[in-house]
Amino acid sequence: MYELDESKYLYLLFLLPVLVLLFLWVEVWKRKKQREFGDLELVKKLSPEKSNFKPALKFGVVLFGLAMLILGLVNPKIGTKVEKVKRQGIDIVFAVDVSKSMLCEDVAPNRLEKSKQIVSQIINNLGSDRIGIIAYSGSAFPVLPITTDYNIAKMFLQTMNPGMISSQGSNLDEAIELTENYFEGSGNTSKLLIMVTDGEDHSEAAKDAAEQARKKGIKIITIGVGTTAGGPIPIKNRGVIESYHIDKSTGQKVITQLRPEALESIAKAAKGGYINGANTKEVVEFMRKSLNNIQKTEFEATETASFQSQFQWFLAIGFFVLVLDVFLLERKTKWVQKLDLFNEKKEK
CB 294 within 8 A of CB 218: no
Query: Per the domain annotation, does 224 fall within a domain?
Result: yes
Residues 6 or more apart whose CB falls under 8 angstroms from that of 298 comprise 86, 87, 88
68 and 167 share one domain: no
75 and 88 share one domain: no
Q: Which domain holds residue 170?
A: 84-303
59 and 126 share one domain: no
65 and 88 share one domain: no
Alpha-carbon distance of 10 to 70, in angstroms, equals 7
Query: Per the domain annotation, does 346 fall within a domain?
Result: no
40 and 147 share one domain: no
Question: What is the structure's pLDDT at 92?
Answer: 95
Query: Per the domain annotation, does 344 fall within a domain?
Result: no
136 and 280 share one domain: yes
Query: Per the domain annotation, does 133 fall within a domain?
Result: yes
User: Which contacts (CB < 8 Å, 24+ apart) does range 264-269 have?
Assistant: 264/222, 265/207, 266/172, 266/195, 266/202, 266/206, 266/207, 266/210, 266/220, 266/222, 267/210, 267/220, 267/221, 267/222, 269/207, 269/208, 269/210, 269/211, 269/214, 269/220
Is beta strand 234-237 parallel, antiparallel or unpaired with respect to 240-244? antiparallel
Alpha-carbon distance of 103 to 184, in angstroms, equals 33
Query: Per the domain annotation, does 194 fall within a domain?
Result: yes
Phi, psi of 211 (to 5 degrees): -65, -40
Query: Per the domain annotation, does 21 fall within a domain?
Result: yes
Q: Closest Cα to residue 113, out of 159, 144, 152? A: 159
274 and 223 share one domain: yes
Question: What is the structure's pLDDT at 342?
Answer: 46
Phi-psi region of 196 (alpha: psi -120 to 50; beta: other; left: phi over 0): beta
Q: How far is CA 163 from CA 196, 220, 324, in A?
A: 18, 26, 59
**Partners of 218 in beta bridges:** 191
Q: Closest Cα to residue 140, out of 114, 165, 110? A: 165
Q: How far is CA 111 from the centre of its chain?
A: 22
46 and 126 share one domain: no
55 and 158 share one domain: no
Query: Per the domain annotation, does 345 fall within a domain?
Result: no
For the chain, the domain total comes to 2
The angle at the Cα of 255, spanning 253 to 256, to the nearest 5 degrees, equals 145
pLDDT along the chain (348 residues), means of 10: 79 91 88 71 62 78 92 82 69 94 94 96 91 91 90 93 79 86 80 92 78 92 96 90 89 92 92 94 95 80 65 90 79 53 48
276 and 322 share one domain: no
CATH number for 259:
3.40.50.410
257 and 133 share one domain: yes
53 and 101 share one domain: no
